């Protein structure tokens, strides 16, 4: 039985993103808390019926790594989507409040996201298309799940890149117009993992205190193209608000076009921070996600499964999947961690 809007009482706000707002709601009929997202920009209202039909696909999804879906309905020009409430919230909220996420927990995030991606692809032939820390949610039962996937392939193609398009987590080949593949999601996962481990968006142009070397403040050093245009603007200058993207933790903003050019032209970010060391298997995993050429970038399977080593000379070499297959973090550890970051609120 799908949830209806009249079953719901609003409890409070959970957050707002590009496409709408998410509220915490009480379901009177089932006596439990849920999350309701009001989604999709007004331009899409003509497609609303089609969207609602296609959203039914979400109803067929059943995986411990996918946020559960309970129903949807029109709310004036929007579509209301009711889903499972994740009480530890999204990973971007968690690291902004508590600082960088412990690297072993980031490894469990990687595993959950990859398993979610493989489920969507293998069972439903869906590519997520919007992997980023705010679409990875945690709860105090120790689950990590992904939400907000591109169910509507047809629809997304027909509206091209206007609304699902531009994101700072987008892969270099997507920025250059190549079609979406599951490997584009792997890139976005790599960027997200670096962000969670460093505690800031990896393309930030304003390095954090203990790390002054990463991307230098001299804009021309990191963004060689279009040097005629100013690249760094004071964050609160007011002008260019809509064209500029505010980078997490930074005191400056880079225009989205400059950032996209940077992603295409510069080496991919790495798991590196001054004064900190990360396990080599974590660095190898992230590197496997962030090959700029999708042909050599690892697939979800290669990142999850420890294939037997055929090449004996390479038998000692680190495999990208080692971080996952050799992890000793348990579900109880995840529970304890999500509880600790939730209590810090
Ligand atoms: P975005 O993902 O771009 O931040 P959304 O509108 O999808 O924008 O979500 C806004 C915020 O609402 C997210 O950042 C997240 O913190 C919160 N949120 C979304 N879905 C849920 C959910 N099911 N349970 C708890 N919090 C959620
Ligand atoms: Mg979202």
Q: Relative to the CA of 19, which ligand 1 atom is closest?
A: 6
Q: Are strands 32-39 and 78-84 parallel, antiparallel or unpaired?
A: antiparallel
In angstroms, what is the span from residue 147 Cα to ligand 1's centroid?
Answer: 9
212, burial (CB in 10 Å: exposed 0-12, middle 13-18, buried 19+): exposed
Pocket test for ligand 1, best of 134, 147, 192, 341 (most atoms within 8 A of CB): 134
- Tokens representing 8 are 């719901």
Is 37 annotated in some ligand binding site? yes
Q: Relative to the CA of 84, which ligand 1 atom is closest?
A: 23
Q: Name which of 272, 52, 337, 213 is nearest 221 in CA terms.
A: 213
Q: Which of 68-77, 268-277, 283-292, 303-312 has the highest mean pLDDT?
A: 283-292
Q: Name which of 155, 135, 180 is nearest 40 in CA terms.
A: 155
In angstroms, what is the span from residue 78 Cα to ligand 2's centroid?
Answer: 15
Distance CA 15, CA 23 (A): 7
In angstroms, what is the span from residue 288 Cα to ligand 2's centroid?
Answer: 25
pLDDT-derived band at 44, boundaries 50, 70, 90: low
Ligand nearest to the CA of 88: 1
Residues recognised as catalytic: 130
- Tokens representing 88 are 């530890």
Q: Phi and psi dihedrals of 312, rounded to 5?
A: -65, -35
Higher pLDDT, 161 or 223: 161
Task: Output the pLDDT for position 79.
Answer: 72
Q: Any idea what the Cα angle at residue 153 is, between residues 261 and 256, rounded to 5°?
A: 20
In angstroms, what is the span from residue 286 Cα to ligand 2's centroid?
Answer: 23
Ligand nearest to the CA of 139: 1
316, burial (CB in 10 Å: exposed 0-12, middle 13-18, buried 19+): exposed
- Tokens representing 131 are 């992997």
Q: What is the pLDDT of residues 130-185, one digit of tens each?
A: 899 999 999 999 999 999 886 555 444 444 444 444 578 999 998 888 888 999 99
Distance CA 3, CA 75 (A): 14
Pocket test for ligand 1, best of 3, 12, 15 (most atoms within 8 A of CB): 15
What ipTM describes this predicted complex? 0.99
Which residue has the least CA distance to atom 14 on ligand 1?
A: 134
- Residue 260 reports pLDDT greater than 60: yes
Work out the number of other CB atoms within 10 angstroms of the CB of residue 32.
11
Q: Relative to the CA of 148, which ligand 1 atom is closest?
A: 7
Cβ atoms of 292 and 172 closer than 8 Å: yes
Cβ atoms of 109 and 102 closer than 8 Å: no
Q: Which of 15-24, 135-144, 268-277 has the highest mean pLDDT?
A: 135-144
In angstroms, what is the span from residue 22 Cα to ligand 2's centroid?
Answer: 9
Cα torsion angle, 33, 69, 191, 159, sign: negative
pLDDT-derived band at 247, boundaries 50, 70, 90: very low
Task: Output the pLDDT for position 237.
Answer: 37
Task: Output the pLDDT for position 183.
Answer: 96
Q: What is the pLDDT of residues 284-342, one digit of tens each?
A: 999 999 999 999 999 999 999 876 656 655 656 788 899 999 999 999 999 999 999 99
Which residue has the least CA distance to atom 7 on ligand 1?
A: 17
Q: What is the pLDDT of residues 199-209, one digit of tens each?
A: 999 986 545 44
Q: Name which of 197, 83, 80 is nearest 135 in CA terms.
A: 83
Distance CA 71, CA 67 (A): 12
Q: Which residue ranges have their beta carbon within 6 Å of ligand 1? A: 14-20, 22, 35, 37, 67, 83-86, 89-90, 93, 134-135, 137, 147-148
Distance CA 91, CA 97 (A): 10
Own/partner contacts of 291-298, CB < 8 Å, gap of 24 or more, are: 292/172, 292/267, 292/268, 293/173, 294/171, 294/173, 294/178, 294/181, 294/183, 294/184, 294/187, 297/183, 297/186, 297/187, 298/186
Ligand nearest to the CA of 20: 1
Mean pLDDT score of the chain? 80
Higher pLDDT, 24 or 231: 24
- Tokens representing 19 are 């496409």
In angstroms, what is the span from residue 104 Cα to ligand 1's centroid?
Answer: 24
Q: Relative to the CA of 90, which ligand 1 atom is closest?
A: 16
pLDDT-derived band at 251, boundaries 50, 70, 90: very low
Cβ atoms of 200 and 276 closer than 8 Å: no
- Tokens representing 206 are 């304003």
- Tokens representing 334 are 């995840």
Ligand nearest to the CA of 19: 1
> What's this model's pTM, rounded to 2 decimal places?
0.81
Higher pLDDT, 180 or 106: 106
Pocket test for ligand 1, best of 20, 22, 169 (most atoms within 8 A of CB): 22
């Amino acid at each position: 039985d799908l949830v209806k809007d009249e079953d719901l009482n609003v409890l409070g706000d959970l957050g707002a993103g590009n496409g709408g707002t998410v509220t915490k709601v009480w379901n009177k009929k089932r006596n439990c808390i849920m999350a309701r997202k009001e989604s999709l920009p007004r331009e899409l209202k003509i497609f609303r019926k089609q969207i609602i039909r296609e959203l039914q696909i979400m109803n067929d999804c059943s995986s411990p790594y996918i946020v559960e879906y309970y129903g949807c309905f029109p709310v004036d020009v929007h579509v209301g989507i009711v889903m499972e409430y994740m009480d530890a919230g999204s990973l971007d909220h968690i690291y902004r409040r508590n600082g960088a996420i412990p690297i072993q927990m980031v490894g469990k995030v990687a595993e959950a996201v990859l398993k979610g991606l493989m489920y969507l692809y293998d069972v439903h032939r869906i590519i997520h298309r919007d992997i980023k820390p705010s679409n990875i949610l945690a709860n105090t039962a120790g689950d990590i799940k992904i939400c907000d996937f591109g169910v509507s392939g047809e629809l997304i193609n027909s509206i091209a890149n206007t609304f699902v398009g531009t994101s700072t987590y987008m892969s270099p080949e997507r920025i250059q117009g190549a079609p979406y593949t599951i490997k584009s999601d792997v890139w976005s996962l790599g960027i997200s993992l670096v962000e969670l481990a460093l505690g800031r968006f990896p393309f930030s142009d304003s390095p954090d205190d203990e790390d002054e070397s990463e991307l230098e403040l001299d804009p021309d050093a990191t963004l060689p193209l279009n040097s005629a245009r100013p690249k760094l603007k004071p964050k609160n200058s007011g002008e260019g608000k809509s064209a500029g993207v505010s980078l997490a933790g930074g005191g400056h903003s880079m225009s989205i076009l400059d950032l996209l050019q940077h992603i295409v032209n510069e080496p991919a970010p790495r798991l590196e921070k001054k004064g900190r060391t990360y396990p080599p298997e974590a660095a190898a995993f992230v590197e496997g996600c962030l090959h700029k050429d999708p042909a050599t970038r690892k697939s979800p399977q290669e990142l999850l499964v420890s294939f037997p080593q055929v090449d004996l000379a390479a038998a000692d070499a680190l495999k990208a999947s080692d971080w996952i297959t050799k992890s000793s973090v348990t579900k109880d550890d995840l529970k304890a961690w999500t509880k600790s970051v939730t209590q810090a609120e």
